[in-house]
Amino acid sequence: MTRDKTHKEQVERWARYVKENPEKWKERVKPFIDSQILMSRRFYKKLAETEAGKKKIKMLRNFHQARL
């Protein structure tokens, strides 16, 4: 899949912003990252409530370990 020119320009703008504002960009991104972590934890907690879910979590952990 090929990204278009506007995507590349946006990535370059963001990289420039991060480089020029090393502290400021973290303030903008932190709430989003924190919410993603919370959502992930809730998902895995809910998934672990069933036997099938526990098996899936174990499978994912094994897959992750195999790739390290």
Mean pLDDT of 11-20: 94
Burial of 32 (0-12, 13-18, 19+ CB in 10 A): exposed
- Domains of the chain, by residue range, sit at 5-67
pLDDT at 2: 67
The whole-angstrom distance between residue 45's C-alpha and the CA centroid of its chain comes to 17
| 22-64 pLDDT tens trace | 999 999 899 999 999 999 999 999 999 999 999 999 999 998 8
Of the pLDDT bands very low, low, confident and very high (cuts 50, 70, 90), residue 68 is confident
Statement: residue 10 has pLDDT above 60: yes
Statement: residue 14 has pLDDT above 90: yes
